[in-house]
Amino acid sequence: MPLPDPSRRYPITLPDGSDHKGTVFLAQAVDHPRFQAGAFSYASDFDAPEDWASRLAPYLFPFSQERLVLGKFCQIAHGVRFITSSANHAMDGLTCFPFPIFDTEQMTGFQPDTRDTVIGHDVWIGYGAMILPGARIGNGAIIGAGSVVRGDIPPYAVATGNPAEVRRFRFAPEVIERLQALNWWDWPAEMIAEAEDALVSDNVEELERIAAK
C-alpha cells in the first residue's frame, strides 16, 4: 500500500473521514529554527497542543545555541519531553544560580551547555520518556515508557529505566550491520512502500533484494 502523504500535518484519517488531531507529522507541525524533524516522523498527544515544539522541547528557544534533530520515521508517544541543553545551569562555580540571565548585558549568548540532542531514524520513544541534554539515540532504537535517557544509546538497542540502560538488542549484530548498511529510510517512497511487508516482518533478505534492484 502507498505511504501516507508526508506533506500532511495530520496523517491519520479516522473512520468518519475526519483528521485525527492528536497525531502530527512533525516536519509539518513544527516551525522552529532549532528543531529539525525528518519525513514521516510523528508525535502523538492526548491533549494536542497548538505549539508542538514547545510541548516536546520546552527549553528549546529560537535563540538557543543547541539543536534538536530527529531522523525519519521516528515515533514519539504522549508525554515525551526533550530537555535540551538550554535548560542546563553552569556547575563549575560555587553556585548554579544563573545570574547572567537576569542582566540584559550578559544574557545574550549565555549558555553553559550547547550540546545538540540527536535522534536517529526509525526510533520509537515510549510514553512519558525524558531525553536529557546531549543524548544521542541510534537508528532503530526503542526507548521504554518512563525512561530517562542520557548519553548514547546504540542502534537497535532496547533501553529502559532511570537512568536508561540497554536491556537487549533487537537483532543479532550481523543483522544490525546489514540494516545500517541498507538505510531504508532514505529510499524513495515507492521502494519503501514495496518493502512494507519486509519491514513489518523480519525479512532482511527481502529488503536486500529490493535494494539491489
Tallying the residues shown for the chain, one arrives at: 213
Asked if 105 contacts 56 with a C-beta cutoff of 8 angstroms, the reply is: no
23: three-class secondary structure by DSSP: strand
CA distances from 95 to 118, 141, 161 (A): 29, 37, 30
Q: How many CA atoms lie within 13 A of 5 on its CB side?
A: 6
How far apart CA 56 and CA 75 sit, in angstroms, is: 13
Instruction: Provide the residue type at 129 as one letter.
Output: A
Nearest to 139 by CA among 165, 168, 119, 117: 119
Nearest to 67 by CA among 134, 11, 145: 134
Options 20, 32, 89, 121, the catalytic residue: 89
DSSP 148-172: EE-SEE-TTEEEETTTTEEEEESS-
131: three-class secondary structure by DSSP: strand
Active site (annotated) includes residue 20: no
Residues designated catalytic = 89
